[in-house]
Amino acid sequence: MTLSAPSGLTAGDVRERTLAGLANGAPEESSRSLWRILRSNVLTLFNGIVGGCFLLLLLLGQWKDALFGFAALSNAVIGVVQEYRAKRLLDQLAVLDAPQARVLRDGRVQEIAVADVVMDDICVLQAGDQVVADAVIIDDDGLEIDESVLTGESEPVGKDKGSPVLSGSSVSAGQGRARVVAVGAGSYASRLTAEAKRFSLVNSEIRNAINRVLRWISWALLPVVAIITNGQMQAKGGWEAAFRTGAWEEALVGAVGAAIAMIPLGLVLMTSVAFAVGGARLARLNVLVQELAAVEGLARVDVLCIDKTGTLTEGRVVFDDVHDTGLHATGQELPRGWREALGWFGSDPHANATARCLAPAFAFDGGAAPAAVVPFSSARKWSAASFDRPHAAAGTWVLGAPDMVFAAGSLSGAPSEALLGQARRLASLGLRTLVLAYTPHMLPGEDDDDVRLPAGLAAATLLTFREKVRPDAARTLAYFRQQGVDVKVLSGDDPRTVTAVAREVGLDVGAGYDARQLPSDPHRLEETLDSFSVFGRVTPAQKRDMVLALQRMGHTVAMTGDGVNDALALKEADIGIAMDTAAPATKAVARLVLLDGRFNRLPAVLAEGRQVIANIERVSVLFLSKTTYAVCLSVIFGALMWSYPFLPRQLSATDGLTIGIPAFFLALMGNARRYRPGFLRRSLSLAIPAGIIVAAAVIAVQAYAMAAGGFSAGANRTASVLTLTLVALTILTAVSRPVSGLRLAVVAAMATGVVLLMTVPLLTDFFMLEWPPPGLLAASLTASAAAILAVLVLNRMHARRYPADHATEPPV
């Protein structure tokens, strides 16, 4: 077919449209500026209080007591780096990856940058090209468009004059020309990109819980600091006396120490470290974690939505089988050379993707070329070749869709209705079906525009093709079902095909649901999602709506996919997972990318997420118990106007030995406990009473010291340090259960550190520790023993209330 030759736009037309803003350039602005990222992570009330305390101690010359400032700085840096990395990924997001576009201007074909395409340009499309702007076909020659990256429909779509083509799709066969009708932000690809560029952080229960605690503490800090500051000044003889004698500096240092003790700085740092280490472990399994908190996200998932093409299947069609057409039943023999004919169709350089699948199964020796050929066309849905030498049986062989071949030719032999019925039954199993037909007549010599099949066609055999299922899909999905994760298949393909693939990977499903009949009413949509597991003909917008509906129903949703049609759903899902073959836009919005395309990596991600959640829950008890006893001590000592019993540097030492250092090891140890909702509730139910027990023990020691009198400030502080460390080590031992050799080693090392802290002169001098006299030492040990017993009883009660539930190990 010869295409007509319009001249296209002139240079003046292009200039006019470019000045009018009708060019194909996409907006480059980011979804979130660097300033907004810095402001949200640095300019907070929480950081303001910590930074103010840090600067105050530096101004007072107490740099030894200002070591906590480095932990606060680390937290801010980690937050900024993490969000800036997400911003850069979003800024690089692009659905269109075609380097240049081919357009007709001033009567000749020119190659220009994609951004220079303007409204009404005539794009010249050839096989392998990507469509760079929304357009309408003005003429074509067997043009087929692959829209799978946009719609999920795996079969190419034939396009005739007047048919629309969407930006982001690609030409799989034929050629044609199309007039641009939408450019830039108005094109389909740009609208998808704009929606995907919306900034969002992964919904992390750990991060949400910690942020909630930090908000509570931030608002409680101001009144508590006011109480403790006033109490410290009064303990020095009142505000006037404190400023007159210079005792205000010591009082202020004590107030700062009380305020900083309330803040679980290390918890944020340990959480980020656990996420980062989990991400590094998964990187060794070829799983790219694009946002750290996504490591724990999959552990909370209870619904896994998966696309068929590229996820359950490898995205390519393979030859399935040959089926008898009933020709023998009529007393006829199969034509000689049908296998060689199939070999030729498979080796034809112009064959489409389905026909090419025949090449490995049927040999073609490269013998006699056909005398006449009709190439495959999506409009005809068949191809044909005539041979005049005995390479195959002399005559014409036709390969195509049964309904089109039977309708187009004069079928002899088996009744056409029976063959069509057989073809429909095979199609209902999710198989793509073609017929190979033969006639001794040659192809008529009409022009390509009016090709007709010769008469006397006999159906030689039916051929079936199927999508190649990933070998790891069935086992992986079985593991998720075993772990209580519901699986939903959302695909753009025919529901029958999707259902067949779902059954092949072991999913127990009924009939597939045609999403073209999906209700728009939110309540009815939720009911439909509850009733069906397999959905076909799903549009990108419907995928997103279905994910949102599942979330409204209270589910935590993971979504896997590889096409741009999946990008919006991946963006909205709690955890988006992209395959290695995914489009750039899909990879950019996904939280996890399976770099080697192995679907069986997901159980390892699930196990890593469980480890992170369980270990962060474990160490959060340590940090939150410290916050609890710090608040109690601050309020009570401030209200009673007693001198605060710790210096900031002493609290830094006790925190390091009983919380910070052991938390680092505990956060990275193996832990296969199954996830249960309520992370913060469980942590606080142990941390708050444990913190109150610690505070009560320290208050009892200080009450004894004040009642007995005659003890130095250094001895009082040392007795409080000893009491706090002994009880805090008990809490550390409690949260380290179940006991293992490595956990026992960590606890023993920390106990050894406490002994060194209390006995090595260099350390006692730096931390201003002074061994207490016998009476005060006895009071400290007695209060510690009572508190230790209370912590052990509390831990046993907590374990009974929240028993651990260990998960099945993931398949290797």
pLDDT at position 574 over 60: yes
- Greater model confidence, 57 or 667: 667
| Record: fold of 11-26+95-196 | 2.70.150
- As a whole number, mean pLDDT of residues 56-61 equals 70
- As a whole number, mean pLDDT of residues 622-641 equals 87
**pLDDT tens-digit profile of 109-166?**
888 888 888 999 999 888 667 788 889 999 877 677 877 656 655 567 778 788 888 8
pLDDT at position 805 over 60: no
Q: What is the rounded CA–CA span in Å between residue 206 and residue 682? A: 12
Burial class from Cβ neighbours inside 10 Å (0-12, 13-18, 19+) for residue 783 reads buried
Long-range CB contacts (within 8 A, 24+) of 347-350? 348/373, 348/383, 348/385, 350/375, 350/376
pLDDT at position 3 over 60: no
- As a whole number, mean pLDDT of residues 480-497 equals 84
Q: What is the rounded CA–CA span in Å between residue 583 and residue 719? A: 63
| Record: fold of 205-279+610-801 | Calcium-transporting ATPase, transmembrane domain (1.20.1110)
pLDDT at position 75 over 90: no
Q: What is the rounded CA–CA span in Å between residue 162 and residue 159? A: 8
Secondary structure (3-state) at 305: strand
**pLDDT tens-digit profile of 252-282?**
776 776 677 677 767 777 777 777 777 778 8
Q: According to the per-residue pLDDT averaged within each range, which of 38-42, 569-573, 612-616, 781-785 is highest?
A: 781-785
Q: How many CA atoms lie within 13 A of 305 on its CB side?
A: 35
**pLDDT tens-digit profile of 87-107?**
565 455 444 455 678 899 988
In this prediction, residue 419 has a pLDDT band, given cuts at 50, 70 and 90, of confident
Q: Which amino acid is at 737?
A: R
Q: Is the pTM of this model over 0.75?
A: no
In this prediction, residue 416 has a pLDDT band, given cuts at 50, 70 and 90, of low
Q: Which amino acid is at 361?
A: A
- Greater model confidence, 263 or 412: 263
* Lowest-confidence segment of 10-14, 58-62, 71-75, 141-145 by average pLDDT: 71-75
- As a whole number, mean pLDDT of residues 726-749 equals 88
pLDDT score recorded for residue 681: 87
What are the structure tokens assigned to 568, written together?
A: 């919006």
**CA 52, 57, 61, 64 torsion-angle sign:** negative
Long-range CB contacts (within 8 A, 24+) of 71-74? 71/265, 71/266, 71/269, 72/47, 72/265, 74/269
Same fold, 284-314+471-605 and 319-450: no
Domain ranges of the chain: 11-26+95-196, 205-279+610-801, 284-314+471-605, 319-450
In this prediction, residue 329 has a pLDDT band, given cuts at 50, 70 and 90, of very low
- Greater model confidence, 7 or 197: 7
**pLDDT tens-digit profile of 687-724?**
999 999 999 999 999 999 988 888 888 899 999 999 99
Specify the CATH class of 319-450 in words: alpha beta
pLDDT score recorded for residue 660: 81
- As a whole number, mean pLDDT of residues 404-410 equals 62
In this prediction, residue 642 has a pLDDT band, given cuts at 50, 70 and 90, of confident
Closest CA relative to residue 652, chosen from 585, 721, 606: 721
What are the structure tokens assigned to 685, written together?
A: 């139910």
Burial class from Cβ neighbours inside 10 Å (0-12, 13-18, 19+) for residue 467 reads buried
Question: What is the chain's Cα-based Rg?
Answer: 36
Specify the CATH class of 284-314+471-605 in words: alpha beta
Q: Catalytic positions, please?
A: 307
Q: How many CA atoms lie within 13 A of 499 on its CB side?
A: 17
- As a whole number, mean pLDDT of residues 727-739 equals 88
Q: What is the rounded CA–CA span in Å between residue 129 and residue 143? A: 12
The mean pLDDT of the chain is 79
